[in-house]
Structure 1
Amino acid sequence: MRPVLHIPSWIQPHSRESASNLEQEKEQILDMLNSVSLNTELLRLGQGDREDINAITNRLAARTKTVDVTVNTPRSAEQERALSSVNHLIDGVVEKLQEDMQAGKDVGSLLETCRRYLNACNPEQPDGPIDQRFQAQLIECTADDQKKIRRKLAQLITQLERAERTFTPQW
């Protein structure tokens, strides 16, 4: 009868890990679909082919977004505020990115901001300057939230680098 008592202690971390992996897989699929949309090779295709590819990627992205995987993380009020503040800073970069891309502006400064944020996530081994304000808020977040934020920033940097290559002429 004892082995049955150990099942709940095994299931909780295993199910959280599996759900977290599904959440990451969903993010990766959406990132791949986004990279298809930003691919410079599309510019070489005819208008009809581009429209078909965009329609397919939009349909797949919409279908992927209907899958809702949520891993709830218990947080104190301070941790909630810190997470909200960190997300607000990241959302500000994303909004500015969209504005700059529509206006055809350089995204280099946004890329640098994201790198400073990511360096704040790795204070032991920063790869450049750190954003102190971001780091102060990040430290107050839960460890799970910090991991998610680090992943989110790494994906955002990849998208920014891709956008920079796409919208910058390669001579």
Structure 2
Amino acid sequence: MDVDPIPPSSSSGSHMSLYPLPKIDENNSLDSKTPKERVIELLDVLESHVEKLRKEASQLEEDRDQLLSSIDSVRNTDVMSELEENDREDINRYADRILSRCLTVEVKVLTQRDHSQEEALHQVNHLINGLIMCVKSDPEYAKVRCVAYMNSCSSHSEEGVTDKHFESTLLGCTVDDQKKVKKRLQGLLNYFDKLNVTAIL
């Protein structure tokens, strides 16, 4: 029994054809490994494929979110207010059509969590949602909190402000969730930059 890759099928257009999967060769009598070692070797190869698939799916999920955000940005750009009403309606219909097409793509990578990690993620999202609620009423304060949260995700804080409560709660989340939270906060900081909000630190 040996582990050999299966060559991708030329007739298949499946994305999985890019990942030659291993097979077991039962006739390989020269292999000095035990049956258990050979099966584990096979599973190791499969695990690497699974992790690569999760990584690429996560990237697709992020690309989709960025496209949705870009469509929303175009619809809310200042140039829209300069258009005639008929032109604005045409642009909005075009944007709606693109948005509908984008929403037909569903990519979801699930993260395994225990109860404490679920609770930690819930608390982190609650804190960030509270920050978002402050954007319109007090954007300067919201950016201060966002900078503090962002610094709490990093090993060093460029602007010297961190939030210890947010940091300790975030550490209770899975590594995957911590990465997603950091990307979410970075997106918020980019939004503040577009609003030209200056944080008073």
Question: Which bin holds the TM-score, normalised by the shorter protein?
Answer: 0.7 to 0.9
Between stretches 15-24 and 153-162, larger displacement belongs to 153-162
Q: Does 1:24 align with 2:55?
A: no
Give distance in 2, aligned partners of 1:66 and 1:53: 20
Give distance in 2, aligned partners of 1:76 and 1:56: 43
The counterpart of 2:125, out of the listed 70, 83, 87, is 87
Give distance in 1, aligned partners of 2:68 and 2:83: 22
Q: Does 1:13 align with 2:45?
A: no
Offset at residue 60 of structure 1 (A): 2.6
> How many residues end up aligned between the 2 structures?
158
Q: 1:158 to 1:144 in 2, by over 3 A?
A: same
Query: What residue identity is the alignment partner of 2:98?
Result: L
Structure with larger Rg: 2
Give distance in 2, aligned partners of 1:136 and 1:84: 13
Runs of 5+ in structure 1 lacking a partner? Answer: none
Partner of 2:156: 125
CA deviations on 1:20-78 (whole Å, 9 max, x unpaired) are: 11111111111211221232222222222223323332343343234221111111111
Give the alignment's TM-score, normalised by structure 2: 0.70
Q: 1:62 to 1:137 in 2, by over 3 A?
A: farther
CA deviations on 1:108-141 (whole Å, 9 max, x unpaired) are: 222222111111111x221221122211110111
Q: 1:149 to 1:40 in 2, by over 3 A?
A: same
Give distance in 2, aligned partners of 1:154 and 1:65: 23
Give distance in 2, aligned partners of 1:120 and 1:11: 33
Give the alignment's TM-score, normalised by structure 1: 0.81
Offset at residue 14 of structure 1 (A): 1.0
Offset at residue 156 of structure 1 (A): 1.6
Between stretches 140-149 and 124-133, larger displacement belongs to 124-133
Could you list the structure 1 runs, at least 4 aligned residues long, displaced by more than 3 angstroms after superposition.
Answer: none
Give distance in 1, aligned partners of 2:60 and 2:53: 10
Q: 1:31 to 1:72 in 2, by over 3 A?
A: same
Q: 1:16 to 1:42 in 2, by over 3 A?
A: same
Offset at residue 106 of structure 1 (A): 5.4
Q: Which gives a bigger RCO, structure 1 or 2 (Cα 8 Å, sep 6+)?
A: 1
The counterpart of 1:36, out of the listed 65, 74, 98, is 74
Q: Does 1:73 align with 2:111?
A: yes
Q: Secondary structure at the match of 1:31?
A: helix
> In the alignment, is the contact (CA less than 8 A) between 1:35 and 1:159 conserved in 2?
no
